[in-house]
Amino acid sequence: MNFTRVSMLFLGAVLVGLMGCKPASPEAPASGDISVQIPLSENNGDINNSDASYGLKTVTLKNIETLREVRGQYARFFLAPGLVEGQLNGASPIAYFAKTKDQTYIAKDVVSLQMATIYYHMQNLITWAQDLGVSIKSPMPVGINTKIKGDEALQNNNAFYDGRSKAMLFVPYTSDEMPISVNAGIIAHEFFHSIFFNKVLGPISQKQKATSQRISDLTVHSYEGWSKQKTFIQLDLSEEELFNETYIRGINEGLADYWGWAYTNDPDFLKWSLSSHAKKRTLTKQAQVSYKSDRDIEAAVVEAKNIGDDPSMALSNYIYDIGTPYARFLKELVYIKMQHSNISLADAKRQVNVFVIGFVQDLAKSALKLKTKDKLSTQDLFLAVDEHDSGLQSKEQCELIIQYLNAPLEKADVIAAKYTCAKDFEAYKVIKP
């Protein structure tokens, strides 16, 4: 049974149909490792495959304490939660399943299906992160049907990681597309925000609080809607501070989009649930590469400061323009590593994922050292790939790096010294102009 565009109503119809597929036994308490059916992408593993559909598949939920609440080692759910002393507060939703003769559990309602699906992705993503050496606290608190006040953009059809409660939050979904709560790519995207928050944004926030400096926009979507007191947004940021804030927000979104692709193999994972955003943020290889240079962001910052009282908010859409090229670059880097190092897709992803985590850690160190007039550089990620591999890279990888580094010069159509690749024995290295 395949489905591509799935509304809540259709999910309900699928559930009704499933109940008639196989005889079901009466419900019984369940714990341990449990087989359930959830919607999963049927991507064939092609890294440029944008035609993957979603279908119902049987998976194993591991280390479940009680299936009645789908609570276990990897997730704990809250229904329409509030926030009390920095923690999610609310009742646990009750899940309803039927058990087939082959010992597979089938959700009886949409909420139960969402819970089983989210739990499955949390167990994979947490395990994935831990394998990379990232410390992730589990179980992940997850809010279902979270009610957001004061921000219409976040009240419906959204999901986000909240840094204060360290929780994943899903708001009601009202569109006629596939619910975000079963979109594996979006779940992975938001999961990466938890890594970025703990590695970069949390430490920055703590330093700023400790030194009575500004609390800049910490990128995590939750803050704008979860709290009416938008303490992270400051209206008097200098151009340098606003530049750094905007770049960090952008790189966060770009790395999160890469994470969504790396988890699903789907370069257009947004299209299933947020089709209006998909074309602009596709990770499909582009005929001509480009990225937002330092000058581009500087110009956007000046414009944002001139047109309104809240430049951080004015740049909220622009940050995705910053982020998407980085996601495309990293995806293409995986492809090059796989082809020219003769390794599997999984191994190539792991190499790039290790680099991403290292880059995030280095970004945090750089951001914490920034002085009043200091600025980060939009070239840092590309150059970090070269430094990370210490020259042990293919010609194609080196050429990909300089293609991006030289893109602003190509765009401006100016005559200037450019980055080049140089061979030293069997290794290639980026040579700065």
Separation CA 59–CA 117 (nearest Å): 9
| 243 burial via Cβ count (<10 Å: 0-12, 13-18, 19+) | buried
Residue 239 and residue 305 in contact, taking contact as beta carbons nearer than 8 Å: yes
Q: For 166, phi and psi rounded to 5 degrees? A: 50, 50
Separation CA 246–CA 241 (nearest Å): 9
What is the pLDDT at residue 220?
31
Residue-level length of the chain:
433
What is the pLDDT at residue 175?
82
Count Cα atoms within 13 angstroms, Cβ side, for 88. Answer: 28
Kindly state the tokens that stand for 204.
């920055």
Q: Which helix (H) or strand (E) holds 256?
A: helix 239-264
State the alpha helices, DSSP H only, in 211-238.
Answer: 222-226
Cα 30 to chain centroid, rounded: 32
Kindly state the tokens that stand for 16.
């009704």
What is the pLDDT at residue 228?
33
CA torsion angle 307 313 319 321 (round to 10): -50
What is the pLDDT at residue 146?
84
What is the pLDDT at residue 186?
94
Distances (CA, A) of 181 to 56, 113, 254, 359: 15, 9, 20, 29
Q: Which helix (H) or strand (E) holds 104?
A: strand 104-107
Return the HEC string of 176-199. Answer: CCCCHHHCHHHHHHHHHHHHHHHH
Q: State which residues of the chain have pLDDT below 50.
A: 1-6, 9-10, 13, 23-26, 28, 211-234
Indicate the residue type of 276: S
Which residues lie closer than 8 Å to 428 by C-beta, 6 or more apart? 391, 393, 394, 395, 397, 398, 421, 422
Q: What does DSSP assign to residue 378?
A: T
Separation CA 223–CA 200 (nearest Å): 16
- CA-nearest of 69, 53, 187, 65 to 120 is 187
- Whether the link from the prior residue into 26 is cis, omega within 30° of 0, is no
CA torsion angle 213 218 224 227 (round to 10): -60
Q: From the CB of residue 287, how many other CB atoms can be counted at a distance below 10 Å?
A: 4
Cα 5 to chain centroid, rounded: 21
- For residue 347, the SS3 value is helix
| 379 burial via Cβ count (<10 Å: 0-12, 13-18, 19+) | middle
Which residues lie closer than 8 Å to 324 by C-beta, 6 or more apart? 253, 254, 257, 280, 281, 283
* Strands (DSSP E) found in 279-400: none
Q: What is the pTM of this model?
A: 0.89
Return the HEC string of 7-35. Answer: CHHHHHHHHHHHHCCCCEECCCCCCEEEE
